[in-house]
């Protein structure tokens, strides 16, 4: 009958529309980010280490040595260590720092008091919260992407890191940035020396997609652990 034919046609159209939706749907592990992430800004950050070469915000290269005239103090007024003025100011600027004896500090309340980082819990520093650790060449800071999101950065895939390992492009949002807004990721490269080498290998703008199935790799070597006093 006509009624039966129309009913069959309606069912067929519904099936076809559902099929088209499934074909055109993004894979569950891949979710679109804002269009600006097709050309996202990428910057790098690291942990300044006492005695190492480093860079100030104005681009001037300095060495974190000199007369130990500044005191790293806790909120309670206890002395953690005495360091040079340049080292102190760089630790303030980055919010963290590594002493030559292996003690790592983080800014506590305000910009004049510090705390010791528990290196058993967070060997390479704290992320956006006290219970969140940073991982070299894995962690990125972002202000508009969900904490814990795994991202694929196309231009990082195949990049040879300074320690000899090759990056697969997969990173994770573990931190927040205070000096930038959205559509930017700040890549945690651990050392200023790593930044020096990578700045010529990584373009200023990259293509970022969210991919929950991308595999986080371990890029830490024995040489990296030695630098980090672990």
Residues 81 and 181 placed together within one structural domain of the fold: no
HSE-CB of 86 using CA atoms within 13 angstroms? 18
What average pLDDT does the segment 199-210 reach?
96
* Residue-level pLDDT at 25: 47
Give yes or no for a contact between 91 and 114, defined as CB atoms under 8 angstroms apart: yes
Is 136 among the domain residues? yes
Q: Taking all residues of the chain, what is their mean pLDDT, rounded to a whole number? A: 88
Q: Is residue 11 part of a domain?
A: no
Last residue of a domain, one of 123, 146, 161: 123
Q: Are residues 183 and 114 in the same domain?
A: no
Do residues 143 and 228 share a domain? yes
Same domain, 61 and 71: yes
Q: Which range of residues forms the domain containing residue 217? A: 27-46+128-230
Task: Look at residues 73, 102, 123 and tell me which one is the last residue of a structural domain.
Answer: 123
Q: What total number of domains does the chain contain?
A: 2
Among candidate residues 89, 123, 157, the one where a domain is terminated: 123
Residue 30 confidence (pLDDT):
59
Q: What are the tens digits of pLDDT across the range 117-142?
A: 999 999 999 987 766 799 999 999 99
Q: Are residues 141 and 228 in the same domain?
A: yes
Examine the pLDDT at 11 and tell me if it is beyond 70. no
Q: In this predicted structure, what is the pLDDT of residue 181?
A: 75
The answer to whether the pTM exceeds 0.95 is: no
pLDDT at 14: 53
Report how far apart, in Å, the C-alpha atoms of 173 and of each of 13, 142, 213 are.
42, 6, 14
Answer yes or no: is 82 within a domain. Answer: yes
Residue 226 belongs to a domain: yes
Report the Cα 94 to chain-centroid distance in Å: 14
CATH number for 177: 2.40.40.10
In a shared domain, residues 141 and 203: yes
Is 94 inside any structural domain?
yes
Residues 111 and 133 in one domain: no
pLDDT tens digits along 43-65: 999 999 999 999 998 899 999 99
Q: What angle do CA 93, 159, 37 make, to 5 degrees?
A: 65
Same-domain status, 38 and 146 = yes
Would you say residue 181 lies in a domain? yes
In-domain check, residue 73 = yes
Residues 133, 108 share a domain = no
Same domain, 156 and 205: yes
At residue 18, the pLDDT reads: 45
Do 148 and 218 sit in the same domain of this protein? yes
Position 1 in a domain:
no
Tell me, yes or no, whether 144 and 39 share the same domain: yes
């Amino acid at each position: 009958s006509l009624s039966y034919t129309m009913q069959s046609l309606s069912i067929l159209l519904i099936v076809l529309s559902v099929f088209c939706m499934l074909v055109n749907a993004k894979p569950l592990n891949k979710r679109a980010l804002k269009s600006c992430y097709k050309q996202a800004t990428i910057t790098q950050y690291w942990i300044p280490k006492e005695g190492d070469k480093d860079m100030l915000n104005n681009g001037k290269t300095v060495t974190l040595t000199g007369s130990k005239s500044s005191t790293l103090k806790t909120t309670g007024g206890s002395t953690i260590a005495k360091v040079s003025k340049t080292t102190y100011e760089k630790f303030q600027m980055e919010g963290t720092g590594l002493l030559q004896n292996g003690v790592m500090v983080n800014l506590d309340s305000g910009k004049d008091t510090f705390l010791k980082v528990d290196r058993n819990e967070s060997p390479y520093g704290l992320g956006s919260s006290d219970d969140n650790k940073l991982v070299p060449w894995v962690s990125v800071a972002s202000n508009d992407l969900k904490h814990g999101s795994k991202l694929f950065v196309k231009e990082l895939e195949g990049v040879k890191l300074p320690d000899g390992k090759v990056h697969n492009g997969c990173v994770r949002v573990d931190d927040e940035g205070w000096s930038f807004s959205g559509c930017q990721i700040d890549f945690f490269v651990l050392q200023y020396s790593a930044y020096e080498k990578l700045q010529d290998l990584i373009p200023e703008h990259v293509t970022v997609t969210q991919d929950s199935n991308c595999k986080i790799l371990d890029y830490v070597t024995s040489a990296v652990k030695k630098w980090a006093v672990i």
